[in-house]
Amino acid sequence: SSWSRFGAEAGCRAPAVAAVLPAGGSGERMGVPTPKQFCPILERPLISYTLQALERVSWIRDIVVAVTGENMETMKGIIQRYRHKRISLVEAGVTRHRSIFNGLKALAEDQPNCRLSKPEVVIIHDAVRPFVEEDVLLRVVTAAQEHGASGAIRPLVSTVISPSADSCLDHSLERAKHRASEMPQAFLFDVIYEAYQQCSDYDLEFGTECLHLALKYSHIKAKLVEGSPDLWKVTYKRDLYAAESIIKERISQQVCVVMDTKENEEHVGRCLEEMLKTELNHVKVTSGQDLQQIILEQCYNFVCVNVMTSDFEETQRLLNMLEESNLSILYPVVVISVHFLDYESVPFGQRMEKVMQIREFAKEVKKRNILLSGLLIYFPQEEQKLQESLRQGATIIAALIKDRNSGLIGQLLVA
Amino acid sequence: SSWSRFGAEAGCRAPAVAAVLPAGGSGERMGVPTPKQFCPILERPLISYTLQALERVSWIRDIVVAVTGENMETMKGIIQRYRHKRISLVEAGVTRHRSIFNGLKALAEDQPNCRLSKPEVVIIHDAVRPFVEEDVLLRVVTAAQEHGASGAIRPLVSTVISPSADSCLDHSLERAKHRASEMPQAFLFDVIYEAYQQCSDYDLEFGTECLHLALKYSHIKAKLVEGSPDLWKVTYKRDLYAAESIIKERISQQVCVVMDTKENEEHVGRCLEEMLKTELNHVKVTSGQDLQQIILEQCYNFVCVNVMTSDFEETQRLLNMLEESNLSILYPVVVISVHFLDYESVPFGQRMEKVMQIREFAKEVKKRNILLSGLLIYFPQEEQKLQESLRQGATIIAALIKDRNSGLIGQLLVA
Ligand SMILES: [Mg+2]
Ligand SMILES: [Mg+2]
């Protein structure tokens, strides 16, 4: 669909496209033992987010990932667990360039691996740039079709300087005349494959830039495409923190309030909904009338409203639906079982029983990546007091959704 | 002390040092209305963290901050609220270079502002690089004493390329031969002041690099000093996320377990301490024998142990000490009132009373940036069950300390 829209404007037909992802790096800059592409974010390895970003793009036919022998089983496990499709694995080389070359070889028709066939255009992307959007992929592919090679660029954040041999400033480069070369890049397959076949061992060992190889060996001047800030590469530990915050923010954009049409419940549910809209800026708050549809639309946060009852029947029904939907395979889903109660009316024994019950439920559904907590909202007769309770409740709901901390599952919070 | 240690090795005497911080930027790259130096991290503006980093360095005599007229009152409020010392404010110019020039003018002896006097060496730093360490400040200052100018550099993360007029690749730069120029930089005051006095309007409008001005107008080749990854500049929204995570991580490195020497309490307290050590890797867990000392050492997390009692006397005592100490002026302090109880033995009425009581306390101390929650840990006779309770308790404590979310204050959690 994006090809028909975008490709038509640019006067191009849809080419056969594959992607190569070098993922053989050791992540030494991170200062952690795990290679950065395997570092967990919300318990899922970074590379799985990047694969997800590429898989979403329907016109990328094959994704070839180059991993070292020692990580091959880990990678197979990731593909299976997160149900990635259209992935082929090849052995990584000692350097990034050698890994890419191995990926290209697997795509070339003369290889014994029969599942793959030679594409017209190949995208090269990094395993550690998980936020790549379809738009920029389309732009580099289209530019590669026309020019033979293309790469995303970004403005420089710092001035670049050239040091002399004694570590003094020789000269500084004009920032406006230079750009940072980022990923993704795209090439006519023959252009980049020929370049790799011709290039020297020195290039394969010490080179960093595919655009440079295309220029040097295939005499192709790559078309440069302005990318968004999202293209940044997870390099340091702080980048992992940033990636985690961005992902948490993205899956916290929508909250679904599940309520019955019972008169009492619907009224309080609507009030809570209004309060959530007021307290959580930028968050889309929806009523769960058509839960199946909301799950399909990938809402990862559910507030289940119960009035004057502390049982979990309705919450249990929601949990069953979520478990069947597989929604929580990729991201932890937050479920908050909200109970509007007039405290004084609940005997102690019953309440502790409920506490224990929600903890058991929570432990159970945690296995399927669902984070369940309970929330008692004080339900007074007086309207103004109710508003105050609702505001408190909204604050607690926001905290649980924002932090998504599995250490707090099974708690019964009080607003 | 660092001068006597480091300066002696380098054969230097301690010079008079001042710092200039241009903070007039509008933060347009962030995509947020607030200029990035004023964006809150744990409710405190970013620039306050940078000031704190410079203030810690005893041999920096004066810190001159250039802010726009419209932010002058905001800045004065920040200085007062967070008790920053040795700060002088000047009006920012329209560009970064003009702001720095204004800062230098204020330091030059011929200015009417009599509080400041001309330093031998001036540091120039960014308001949005909060993690600068004394070590690199010392190195640039020492190098500036010897060479006239000095600046921190970092390896390039991306290849730098030069585009042609039609946005195609002209050439790519050899990554190994170039560096990113970062901050801090340092100069002999006369060198940089003279450069600014001579430089053109074009330089002041479009230039970005002080090292370049020192080279062009004072013919000084700056000494380049390798900086750590900490020097990075908060540029995009993701950088704010990263900064928040780093700051949260830093203040979560130590947890103090406060317990009585009463036989029963000390035993359970020690068990909890051991469990925290096991569950929270890299976290220093200390007993609160000498609380005043621990507060002085800037521990921001306290677990107050109470056995078979649900009263808050001891927690209240700790809270009073914290309030008197001013520890929470710069960072939110987490206090968890832990109560080891055999649930069955607590009547309901008493328990709800306690819930209400901790919420009231929490609301009160929140005003002074203290985040109070309660935690009931089930205290069975059986040793193995106790261990399980303790493990659960440690997980909850870790979650509260890690996220430091004020939306969850006043809750009574159950392990
Ligand atoms: Mg309901
Ligand atoms: Mg105690």
**Contact between chains at B175 and A413 (C-beta distance less than 8 A):** no
Contact A221 B168 (CB under 8 A): yes
Q: Which residue has the tokens 């003369």?
A: A110
Same domain for A39 and A121, yes or no, is yes
Average pLDDT (B371-386) is 91
pLDDT the model gives residue B286? 82
Question: Which residues span the domain enclosing A71?
Answer: 2-247
> Is residue B29 predicted with pLDDT exceeding 80?
no
Q: In which band, very low, low, confident or very high, does the pLDDT at B355 lie, cut at 50, 70 and 90?
A: low
Other CB atoms within a 10 A radius of the CB of residue B293 amount to: 11
**B307: which 2 tokens?**
């056995």
Question: Which neighbouring-strand residues pair with B88?
Answer: B64
Contact A159 B181 (CB under 8 A): yes
End-to-end C-alpha distance for chain B, whole angstroms: 47
- Which SS3 state, helix, strand or coil, does residue B346 take? coil
The candidate with the shortest Cα–Cα distance to A318, out of A308, A329, A331, A306, is A306
Looking at the fold, whether A293 and A384 belong to one and the same domain comes out as yes
Interchain contact B281–A (C-beta under 8 A): no
Same domain, B125 and B217: yes
Pairwise CA distance, residues B187 & A67, whole Å:
47
Q: B158 and A173: CB-CB below 8 Å?
A: no
| pLDDT tens digits, one per residue of A237-250 | 999 999 999 999 99
B179 and A161 in contact (C-beta within 8 Å)?
Answer: yes
Q: How many residues does chain B have?
A: 415
Instruction: Please state, in angstroms and rounded to a whole number, the distance separating the CA atoms of residues A170 and B279.
Output: 51
Structure confidence at residue B83 (pLDDT): 97
3-state secondary structure chain A: CHHHHHHHHHCCCCCCEEEEEECCCCCHHHCCCCCHHHCEECCEEHHHHHHHHHHCCCCEEEEEEEECHHHHHHHHHHHHHCCCCCEEEEECCCCHHHHHHHHHHHHCCCCCCCCCCCCCEEEECCCCCCCCCHHHHHHHHHHHHHHCEEEEEEECCCEEEEECCCCEEEEECCHHHCEEEEEEEEEEHHHHHHHHHHCCHHHHHHCCCHHHHHHHHHCCCCEEEECCHHHCCCCCHHHHHHHHHHHHHHCCCEEEEECCCCHHHHHHHHHHHHHHHHHCCCCEEEECCCHHHHHHCCCCEEEEEEECCCCCHHHHHHHHHHHHHCHHHCCCEEEEEEEEECHHHCCHHHHHHHHHHHHHHHHHHHCCCEEEEEEEEECCCCHHHHHHHHHHHHHHHHHHHHHCCHHHCCCEEEC
pLDDT given for residue A223 in this prediction:
98
Looking at residue B87, its pLDDT comes to 97
Looking at the structure, tell me whether residues A237 and A260 fall in a common domain: no
> Predicted confidence band at B171 (pLDDT cuts at 50, 70, 90)?
very high
Confidence of residue B26 (pLDDT cuts 50, 70, 90): confident
Q: How confident is the model at residue A381 (pLDDT cuts 50, 70, 90)?
A: confident
- High-pLDDT (> 70) share of chain B, %: 92
Q: What is the pLDDT of residues A331-343, one digit of tens each?
A: 999 999 999 987 6
Q: Which chain B residues touch A408 with a CB distance below 8 Å?
A: 396, 399, 408, 413
Question: Helix or strand or coil: residue B238?
Answer: helix
Q: Tell me, yes or no, whether B380 and B354 share the same domain.
A: yes
Q: Does B177 touch chain A (CB under 8 A)?
A: yes
**Residue B360: its H or E element:** helix B348-366
Give Cα separations from A132 to A220, B27, B291 (angstroms): 25, 24, 50
pLDDT at B343: 67
Going from the Cα of B258 to the center of ligand 2, the distance in angstroms, rounded, reads: 6
Query: In percent, how much of chain A has pLDDT > 70?
Result: 92
Does residue B91 sit in the same domain as residue B109? yes
Residue of B nearest to A402 (CA): B405
- Look at residue B147 in the predicted model and tell me its pLDDT: 97
**Touching check for B159 and chain A: CB below 8 Å?**
yes
Per-residue confidence (pLDDT) for residue B290, from 0 to 100 = 87
What is the mean predicted confidence (pLDDT) over B396-415?
A: 95
Q: For residues A372 and B377, what is the distance between their CA atoms, to the nearest angstrom?
A: 20
Whole-number pLDDT of residue A357: 87
Sign of CA dihedral B284, B287, B288, B293: negative
Gap from CA of B358 to ligand 1 centroid (Å): 29
CB contact A223 to B (< 8 Å)? yes
Residues B197-211 have pLDDT tens digits of 999 999 999 887 899
The answer to whether A299 contacts chain B (CB < 8 Å) is no
Q: Are B78 and B202 in a shared domain?
A: yes
Mean pLDDT, chain B, rounded, equals 91
Q: What is the pLDDT of residue A10?
A: 58
Of residues B54 and A415, the one with the higher pLDDT is B54
CATH of residue A268's domain is 3.40.50.720
Say whether A242 and B241 touch across the interface (CB within 8 A).
yes
Q: Indicate which ligand has the atom closest to the C-alpha of A259.
A: 1
- Extract the tokens encoding B101: 């020039």
Inter-residue contact B96 to B22 (CB < 8 Å): yes
DSSP code at position B380: -
Q: Are residues B213 and B233 in the same domain?
A: yes
Q: B209, A172: Cβ pair inside 8 Å?
A: yes
- B395 interface with A at CB cutoff 8 Å: yes
Q: How far is the CA of B267 from the centre of ligand 2 (A)?
A: 11
- The answer to whether the beta carbons of residues A248 and A42 sit under 8 Å apart is yes
Query: Of the candidates A216, A247, A278, which is a domain's last residue?
Result: A247
A372-376, B131-135, B285-289, B309-313, range with the lowest pLDDT? B285-289
Indicate if the pLDDT at residue A6 is higher than 60. Answer: no
Chain centroid offset of residue A412 CA: 30
Which residues 113-142 in chain B show a CB within 8 A of chain A?
none
Q: Please indicate whether residue B380 or residue A28 has the higher confidence score (pLDDT).
A: B380
In this predicted structure, what is the pLDDT of residue B406? 96
Amino acid symbol at B348: F
Quote the pLDDT of residue B25: 81
Q: From the CA of A266, which ligand is nearest?
A: 1
Mean pLDDT, residues B304-330: 92
B64 CA from centroid of ligand 1 (Å):
59
Which of 39-58 (B) contact A at CB < 8 A?
A: none
Among all ligands shown, which has an atom nearest to the Cα of A313? 1
pLDDT, one tens digit per residue, over A29-51 is 555 678 999 999 999 999 999 99
CA dihedral A284, A286, A291, A295 (to 10 degrees): 0
Is the pLDDT confidence value at A8 over 60?
Answer: no
Any idea what the CATH number is for the domain that residue A157 is in? 3.90.550.10
Chain B CA closest to residue A178: B162
Number of other CB atoms surrounding residue A1 within 10 Å: 7
- What chain B residue is nearest to A414 in terms of C-alpha separation? B411
- For B162, which residue in chain A has the nearest alpha carbon? A178
Judge: B351–A347 Cβ closer than 8 Å, yes or no. no
Residue among B157, B182, B399 minimizing CB distance to A407: B399
Do A230 and A267 lie in a common domain?
no
Contacts of A365 (CB under 8 A, 6+ apart): A319, A322, A323, A335, A372
For residue B356, pLDDT over 90 is answered with no
Amino acid B149 reads A
Contacts of B408 in chain A (CB under 8 A): 396, 399, 408, 413
Final residue of a structural domain among B247, B273, B292: B247
Say yes or no: A235 contacts chain B, CB-CB below 8 A: yes
Beta bridge partners of B115: none
pLDDT in tens, A67-113: 999 999 999 999 999 999 999 999 999 999 999 999 999 999 766 66
Same domain, B278 and B153: no
Average pLDDT score over residue span B264-284: 87
State whether A169 and B236 contact (CB < 8 Å): no
Test A211 with B172 for CB contact under 8 angstroms. Answer: yes
Q: What local confidence, expressed as pLDDT, does residue B5 receive? A: 58
Q: Are residues A328 and A355 in the same domain?
A: yes
Q: Nearest C-alpha of chain A: how many angstroms from B239?
A: 7
**Residue B164: how many other CB atoms lie within 10 Å:** 11
Q: Does B366 touch chain A (CB under 8 A)?
A: no
B contacts of A221 (beta carbons < 8 Å):
164, 168-170
With beta carbons under 8 A apart, name residues in chain B contacting A97.
none
Residues A170 and A297 in one domain: no
Tell me the ipTM for this assembly: 0.93
Backbone angles phi, psi at A111, to 5 degrees: -90, 150
> What is the rounded average pLDDT of the residues B158-162?
95
Which ligand is closest to the CA of B313, given by its number? 2
Number of separate domains in chain A: 2
Q: What is the pLDDT of residues A264-294, one digit of tens each?
A: 888 899 999 999 998 887 778 887 778 889 9
Q: Does B212 touch chain A (CB under 8 A)?
A: yes
The reply to whether residue A414 touches residue B412, judged by beta carbons under 8 angstroms, is: yes
Give the pLDDT confidence of A358-374 residue by residue, as tens digits: 999 999 999 999 999 99
How is residue B2 written in tokens?
Answer: 């660092």
pLDDT of residue B85: 95
For the ranges A64-73, B283-292, B335-344, B380-389, the lowest mean pLDDT is seen at B283-292
| A322 Cα to the center of ligand 1, angstroms | 16
Structure confidence at residue B310 as a pLDDT band (50, 70, 90): confident
Helix (H, G, I), strand (E, B) or coil at B88: strand
CB contact under 8 A, A173 and B160: yes
| pLDDT tens figures, B84-122 | 999 999 999 999 999 999 999 999 976 666 689 999 999
Looking at the complex, report in whole angstroms how far the Cα of residue A297 sits from the nearest Cα belonging to chain B.
26
What pLDDT score was predicted for residue B260?
Answer: 85
Identify the domain boundary among B247, B282, B304: B247
Q: How far is B266 from chain A (nearest CA, A)?
A: 26
Q: Give the separation between CA B212 and CA A170, rounded to whole angstroms.
A: 10
Given a cut of 90, is residue B137 above it in pLDDT?
A: yes
